[in-house]
Amino acid sequence: MRYDDRREAGRLLAERLQELRGRDVVVLGLPRGGVPVAAEVARGLGAPLDVLVVRKLGVPEQPEWGFGAIGEHGVRVLNEDVIDAAGLRAGEREAVEEAERGELERRVRSYRRERTALPVAGRTAVVVDDGLATGATAEAACRVVRGQGAARIVLAVPVGARHSVARLERVADDVVCPHTLQVLGSVGAWYRDFTQVTDAEVTSLLAAAARSPTAPAATSPSDREVLVPAAGARVGARLVVPDGAPAAVAFAHGSGSSRHSPRNQYVATALNRAGLATLLLDLLTDGEAQDRHNVFDILLLARRLHAASVWLRGETGLPVAYFGASTGAAAALEAAALSGSDVRSVVSRGGRPDLATPAALTRLRAPTLLIVGSRDAQVLSLNRLAADRMHCEHRIAVVPGATHLFEEPGTLTIVAELARDWFTAHLDRPGTGAPRRSA
């Protein structure tokens, strides 16, 4: 079967995706040819449409050999096997990324015309192209969307090569391809009209989708970037306050990460949907973060987090809880143990509570949940040792099949649900309930 054009292909593809209608879905078209297809899919599902601009990172002198890909918001995915095989040095990788990052940003500006990117974290992302030949671009796109914290990734294409579909099934959660062919030839051969899509057409389709009733507002008074005074510095943060929020959760990220961490963004979005306010913040300035000593200075990070929580209470009038990841978990525990902190509860994801001082662990009164992956054996052991020092209510939750970064499908969803339930169950003042220990 040949499609009349990309729009017909999109309408037929939407019919195969009707189970997603009414769910929290965002449709992402790969420019340029995938955007007309994606526009019809978005219309058929009643879902918002956005463009997904990715750039493959090619080995110098062999650009078709990709060692990674980049997307918006600083997302980068690397293939360490290719890097090792090609013998790429850090400087070579950085030069390629710098060039591709410039082109990516140019295209984003051209297509979006100052519109804000639709949030992906915590949602089902439907990645759409007009066909799947080698699958290299689609694979890069799926990996970038995974890095942005999508809860589920559905790759949808009207036609594709069987070997490429099989490979992409290991990257996306689902692949929907009505026509899978042993010998594809060119994608264009399966369309009667395969006229090249222009940048102007992409821009027009996106603008029309942004005006449709399904398009969410780009900005909201409850979602804003702020500068937070924190113990000798002003640090960047994103504050989201849903109407009627009963509490606010301040996030402390781990070493090598930032407030843009897709995993923390994913958890924050889940908490926002549960009605909780969130503050995703950096505990160091950009200059301070260059010094690795600062990155692992738990007491400095704890003072910054404590100061940020004082600001957060004053700004929102809400009680505060902490969510910490990796080294940020140690900072959260230290800050929660400070005299007069009044932190309601603490959740750690893949945390290093052993980096908190023994005195802080003993003094802690805020109910604490330690979430660890079952395949993160060393960190699990360190969490158990730290838990032995705690006299507050605490629990170790082990997520089956998860490694340290909770990259396995579904594991980060479990983290978000555990955190949500712990925070909402401990809205009262810390230490008011009977101490409990569980694992």
Give kind and range of the element (H or E) at residue 126: strand 124-128
d(CA 439, CA 434) in angstroms, rounded, equals: 17
Model pLDDT, residue 340: 79
DSSP state of 3: B
State residue 176's pLDDT score. Answer: 96
Chain position carrying tokens 């463009």: 51
Model pLDDT for residues 260-273, shown as the tens digit of each residue: 777 888 889 889 88
**Bridge partners of residue 161, in order along the sequence:** 181
- 411 contacts: CB under 8 Å, gap ≥ 6: 373, 399, 401, 402
Is-contact 303 337, C-beta < 8 A?
no
pLDDT digits (tens, 9 = 90+) for 195-223: 999 888 999 899 888 877 655 444 343 78
**What pLDDT is stored for residue 221 in this prediction?**
38
* pLDDT at residue number 219: 39
Per-chain mean pLDDT for the chain = 87
**Cβ 278 vs Cβ 268: under 8 Å:** yes
pLDDT of residue 214: 58
- Taking the C-alpha atoms of residue 103 and residue 101, their distance in angstroms, rounded to an integer, is 5
384 versus 292: the higher-pLDDT residue is: 384
pTM here? 0.55
The closest alpha carbon to 17, from 121, 165, 125, 169, belongs to 125
pLDDT of res. 412: 87
Instruction: Name the nearest CA neighbour of 179 among 171, 170, 191, 167.
Output: 191
- DSSP conformation class of 400: T
**Mean pLDDT confidence for 290-298:** 78
CA distances from 212 to 43, 112, 204, 206 (A): 9, 15, 13, 10
Lowest mean pLDDT among 104-108, 132-136, 221-225, 364-368: 221-225
Edge-first strand listing for the sheet containing 76-78: 55-59, 62-70, 76-78
Reduce the DSSP state of residue 17 to 3 states and report it: coil
Predicted confidence at residue 247, as pLDDT, reads: 94
Question: Prior bond to 6 cis, omega within 30?
Answer: no
Confidence of residue 258 (pLDDT cuts 50, 70, 90): confident
Mean per-residue pLDDT, 395-409: 90
In this predicted model, which residue has the larger pLDDT, 254 or 98? 98
Q: Give me Rg for the CA atoms of the chain.
A: 23
pLDDT in tens, 223-239: 888 888 887 788 888 99
pLDDT of residue 241 exceeding 70: yes
List, in order, residues 6 or more apart from 222 with CB less than 8 Å away.
Answer: 240, 241, 242, 243
Q: Is the pLDDT of residue 435 over 60?
A: no
Percent with pLDDT over 90 in the chain = 46
Q: Per residue in 115-154, pLDDT tens?
A: 778 888 888 999 999 999 878 788 888 988 888 888 899 9
pLDDT in tens, 35-90: 999 999 999 998 999 999 888 788 888 876 778 878 776 777 777 888 888 898 88
Average pLDDT in the 363-388 region? 95
Considering Cα of 332, then 334, then 337, then 341, what sign does the dihedral take? Answer: negative
Report the DSSP beta bridge partners of residue 3: 191
Compute φ and ψ for 276, nearest 5 degrees.
Answer: -90, 145
Q: Which pLDDT band holds residue 418 (cuts at 50, 70, 90)? A: very high
